[in-house]
Amino acid sequence: MAIDKQMKIGDILDNSMELAPYFLELGMHCLGCPASRSETVEQACMVHGVDADEFVAKINSVLADA
């Protein structure tokens, strides 16, 4: 599975819960709340001051190595 910045965080974590630490590392500590699960990666990155393209590249690199 590869992710893109339009994917919802909840969908990503439903398929790959092992990615949660990468979201937490960036300050996205409310992964379990309903609002965050329906946010896209791009929306969450914007709120937390993270470059969405860099984050997606990092996550896809992790997934490729798994």
Residue with tokens 């599975």: 1
**CB burial of residue 66 (10 Å; 0-12, 13-18, 19+):** exposed
pLDDT in tens, 3-39: 999 999 999 989 988 999 998 888 887 777 777 788 9
What is the separation, in whole angstroms, between the first and last Cα of the chain?
A: 10
Give residue 53's pLDDT band: very low, low, confident or very high (50, 70, 90): very high
